[in-house]
Amino acid sequence: MAFKAKIIESPVYYTLKRKELFIGLAATIPAGLLASFFEIPVWIVLIVLVIYILLILILKNNQQEIKNISDLKMIEIDADYIKLKSVNNEIIDSFDLTKTEKIMLNKDFGMPQESIADIVQEMKGKPKQNFIIIERNEQFQKFDFLVDSYYMLKQLDKIIEQWQQRGIEVLWV
């Protein structure tokens, strides 16, 4: 049993996701106008169509930037180890959790943009951030990650239970 997620190494990721929300919202306006093009002069329809295409191209470019940032590394967590892996599934780094004194997790970890409230918070510049911090020898290591399924959330819950049963201190921050 293992939890797997994409690593977020750059805070630029959150800026790009916020930008994506605004561009997506802005693209709905010309799309709505195009849906009622029978009532609008042809020249306005053409202008709106060009604006819509430009917004879609900007959105596509933004999504490519997000992919370039978030598809570089994966984190794999099980009861004993945290492993950082490359896109090719090669282990880059490994952290032995049996030697860990404390594990800290954000108390509201979950799927991004799961609810309207999450979307509003992200638009305000306060995105949902999932992270785990491990403490070993009074040193802290933080990993931000992107949860992409409810199945992975359940896996993480099971792993947290195993840590607690083994006596590892788990704090919610």
Banded model confidence at residue 46, pLDDT cuts 50, 70, 90: confident
More confident: 108 or 15: 15
The per-residue pLDDT for range 95-151, each reduced to its tens digit, is 888 888 789 998 887 888 778 888 888 888 888 889 999 887 788 889 999 888 899
pTM: 0.77
- Please say if the pLDDT value at position 37 is more than 70: no
Provide the pLDDT confidence category of residue 171 given band limits of 50, 70 and 90.
confident
Separation between Cα atoms, residue 163 and residue 166, nearest integer Å: 5
Residue 171 corresponds to which amino acid? L
Residue 70, both tokens: 């978030």
* Residue given tokens 């992200």 in the structure block: 122
The predicted structure's pLDDT at residue 160: 92
How many other C-beta atoms lie within 10 A of the C-beta of residue 161?
12
Q: What is the pLDDT of residue 38?
A: 67
Q: pLDDT-based confidence at 69, cuts 50/70/90?
A: confident
**Residues 7 and 73: beta-carbon distance below 8 Å:** yes
**More reliable by pLDDT, 48 or 82:** 82
Contact 2, 76 (CB under 8 A): yes
Q: What is the 3-state secondary structure (H, E, C) of the chain?
A: CCEEEEECCCCHHHHHHHHHHHHHHHHHHHHHHHHCHHHCCHHHHHHHHHHHHHHHHHHHHHHHHHHHHHCCEEEEECCCEEEEEECCCCEEEEEEHHHCCEEEECCCCCCCCCCHHHHHHHHCCCCCCEEEEEEECCEEEEEEEECCCHHHHHHHHHHHHHHHHCCCEEEEC
So what's the pLDDT on residue 151? 93
Count CA atoms closer than 13 A to 61's CA, side-chain side.
7
Contact 2, 142 (CB under 8 A): no
**Mean pLDDT value across residues 25-40:** 74
